[in-house]
Amino acid sequence: MQPYKTQSQEIFVMELYEDFKSALLNKNLISNPSNATHLFFEVLKNKCYKYSVDMHSLPESWWKKYIRTLYLCGTQKKELDLELTDAVRQINVKKVDTRSFLTFASMSVFFGLFKLAFELRKLASESSILALDEQGGTDFYRVAYGVGALYEKKRFSKIRGVIDKCTVCNDAYLKQEKLLWNILSDIGHNPQIREQISISAADVEFSEYIRGKSVAIVGPVPSEMENGNEIDSFDIVVRFNYRETGIALDPVYKGTKADVSYYNRWTSEYIIDSNFGDFPTGLKWLVNRRREHAEKIEEKLKNIFHTVAFRSRVHQHFSYIWFNGHFNAIPNAVLDLLCFEPSIIKIFHSDLMTSTSRDPGYFVPELERQDRTRLMLRSFTNVDPLSQFNLLKILFDQEKVVGDRVFSCVMGLNDIEYLDRLSIIYGGNAVFVAD
């Protein structure tokens, strides 16, 4: 059972946006912010009631300012973002409901209010740890949020104390938490941890393939750095959504090797549903998020090509151990690979979403046609940028991963500087345009 924090936040935010937009259009208020405030309240209250989200810890006057930001852009939007953020800083953490404030943080990211989102998320984190300290680990959601927040703060000894006393966590959660703790913590690191936990036959094979090898992870961000030779010098090269022979490969910048490809849900479904004959049969391993996708893709490709050398598996899942949201491609792949003890992992051509361009073929055609900024903002409601950043920064600081110049530059930022980068790219526009 996964906590509310994952998919439901995205559903809440997108339903709120679409319902509010429809109501504005029906009442001809789309360009009139002064008359839209009451309507926003009604839509928001309905959504909060439906998803048991508490909006009352933030006063009505605060929400009135919030609705104004949907019609502002540039400097005006940034100034109101700061004003809302300052008000949130005055809230007593004991009055904060963790999942409600995380929902409002996701909503604020979607609306381009990054400073406000950071403060709401920070309060939610502090609240979750406080609840764990004061009320203990008798509720699964309380444990999940509290432990996730403790991971981000690198309080590994306290995590073990909580988990060792926990009686409400299911076996799946405990298995993944133990693996994650073993990867991130230097306290009692146990190289044989995987042998103590049930893993699939495919994982055993994958372990033999990865263990002791040098691994290059090549992200989907276009690059002018001439890394091709270095990338191809690694024992194993990992790519993402690689579904067409040679696409986004070149000897100068991206390299030409492709041994392992990780696939997101969109690309997995596209491979399953599409007719094609140019799938890269030279891949050794196909790694999917879902078991049904892995099985269907393997069956389809074997029917098309009859004899193929690749194997398929499902990657380890750690998102619901972390504080908020799912992990995206790079963090998922890094954590999955670290379970199998490579000698080194180096990340190329990843800037943690501080740009919107992607290599050809990374997005399936349906997503390629969408507005990239809006697509990324929607993804942030489910794939919390700070979750990706905080995890990779821990691993980078521990020297469990290294990176090229671009990745290392992002890892040199603190969390506020990172969100400022995102705000510059995604946060300047008005959600609705006033006359």
| pTM (two decimals) | 0.92
> 196 lies in a domain?
no
Please name the residue that has the structure tokens 């508490």: 54
Looking at the structure, do residues 138 and 48 belong to the same domain, yes or no? Answer: yes
**Bridge partners, residue 238, by sequence:** 217, 260
In a domain, 286, yes or no: yes
Q: Are 434 and 33 in contact (CB under 8 A)?
A: yes
Contacts of 382 (CB under 8 A, 6+ apart): 6, 7, 9, 10, 106, 325, 326
Q: Contact at 8 Å (CB) between 391 and 319? A: no
Q: Tens digits of per-residue pLDDT, 104-147?
A: 999 999 999 999 999 999 999 999 999 999 888 788 989 999 99
From the list 308, 252, 251, the residue with the least C-alpha distance to 280 is 308
Predicted confidence (pLDDT) at residue 167 exceeds the cutoff of 60: yes
Residue 268 lies in a domain: yes
Is residue 426 in a domain? no
Indicate if 155 and 225 belong to the same structural domain: no
Same domain, 156 and 208: no
* Confidence (pLDDT) at 4: 44
Q: Is 59 inside a domain boundary?
A: yes
d(CA 358, CA 107) in angstroms, rounded, equals 25
Query: Are 262 and 374 members of one domain?
Result: yes
* Contact partners, residue 368, CB within 8 Å, separation at least 6: none
Residue 11 predicted with pLDDT over 50: yes
Only one residue has tokens 């133990």, namely 178
Classify strands 402-403 and 311-314 as parallel, antiparallel or unpaired.
unpaired
Closest CA to 120 of 319, 373, 386: 386
Q: Are residues 217 and 158 in the same domain?
A: no
Same domain, 104 and 61: yes
DSSP of 386-398, one letter per residue? HHHHHHHHHHHHT
Co-location of 142 and 235 in the same domain: no
Contacts of 136 (CB under 8 A, 6+ apart): none
Flag whether 291 is in a domain: yes
Q: Looking at the domain assignment, is residue 422 inside a domain?
A: no
**Residue 313 and residue 379 in one domain:** yes
Are 110 and 49 within one domain? yes
Question: For 355-403, how does the pLDDT look when each residue is reduced to its tens digit (9 = 90+)?
Answer: 989 998 888 888 887 788 888 898 999 999 999 999 999 999 999 999 9
Take residue 123 and report the two structure tokens written for it.
């309060």
> Does the structure show a pLDDT above 60 at 188?
no
Task: Considering only residues 166 and 3, tell me which one the structure prediction assigns the higher pLDDT.
Answer: 166
The owner of tokens 């919107």 is: 356
Query: Are 319 and 393 contained in the same domain?
Result: yes
Alpha-carbon distances, residue 362 vs 81, 218, 239, 381 (angstroms): 33, 12, 10, 21
Strands across the sheet containing 402-403: 311-314, 285-288, 260-262, 236-240, 214-218, 344-348, 402-403
In a domain, 299, yes or no: yes
- What total of structural domains would you count in the chain? 2
Separation CA 91–CA 57 (nearest Å): 8
CATH (domain of 311): 3.90.1480.20
> Tokens for 358?
């992607």
Q: 119: closest CA among 148, 90, 143? A: 90
Domain residues for the domain of 399 are 201-414
Tens digits of per-residue pLDDT, 340-364?
999 999 999 999 999 989 998 888 8
Distance CA 242, CA 249 (A): 10
Kindly report the average pLDDT of the chain as a whole number: 88
**Span 175-188, mean pLDDT?**
83
Q: CA 407 to CA 403: how far, in whole Å? A: 5
294 and 378 part of one domain: yes
- 146, 205: one domain: no
